[in-house]
Amino acid sequence: MAASPEQTVRPDSKGRIALGAYAKGVSSYRIRQEKDGRLILEPYAEVPAREAWLYKNKKALESVRQGLRDAKAGKVHDLGDFTKYIGK
């Protein structure tokens, strides 16, 4: 993510600030307050529960990442038509 120009934001009457485009692709933030009062927001993109197993299985995750690298490099081959397996 490229650095953005500094902006001043003002909290509303309930203490909320709008992040606008800064929140694009982010599902939540972790926030901490530094000793000097600065607030640090760390963006998070949460993973659906049904996909969490992949991030807990290092071997499977590396296999997926290798497959993505191979595909990007054009190292792919056609395995044929799999439509006959639909609905089985």
Confidence of residue 24 (pLDDT cuts 50, 70, 90): confident
Q: What is the pTM of this model?
A: 0.48
Q: What pLDDT is stored for residue 88 in this prediction? A: 64
Give strand pairing partners of 42.
30
Evaluate the CA torsion angle 43, 48, 53, 57 in order and state its sign. negative
What is the C-alpha to C-alpha distance for residues 24 and 45, in angstroms, rounded to an integer? 10
Q: Give the model confidence (pLDDT) of 37-67 as tens digits.
A: 999 999 988 888 999 999 999 999 999 999 9
Please state whether beta strands 39-44 and 28-33 pair in parallel, antiparallel, or not at all (unpaired): antiparallel
Q: Tokens 């497959």 sit at which residue?
A: 67
